[in-house]
Amino acid sequence: MTRKKQTSQTQDIGRPPIYGVPMIRTFASLRPDQIAWLRAQGDNVSETIRNIIDEAMARDGENPV
């Protein structure tokens, strides 16, 4: 008798991708003062970091998504 691998019913549950593109979870090491500054910006910390990177990419002539 063979067994099929059962797939989870919760695969499609979760937040939709931001900007229509799946996000990759990343780890960054930051100093406490940098974390405090990011949190003080009022936006979500991840969104603030993405905005900073998008601005730097635009300065370099890259087209952020």
Measured CA to CA, the distance from residue 17 to residue 60 in angstroms comes to 26
Cβ-proximal residues to 21 (8 Å cutoff; 6+ apart), any chain: 65
Measured CA to CA, the distance from residue 12 to residue 8 in angstroms comes to 9
Q: Considering the entire predicted model, what is its pTM? A: 0.63
Cβ-proximal residues to 22 (8 Å cutoff; 6+ apart), any chain: none
Report the pLDDT value the prediction gives residue 64, as an integer from 0 to 100.
Answer: 65
- Give pLDDT tens digits for 24-45: 888 999 999 999 999 999 878 9
Measured CA to CA, the distance from residue 37 to residue 32 in angstroms comes to 9
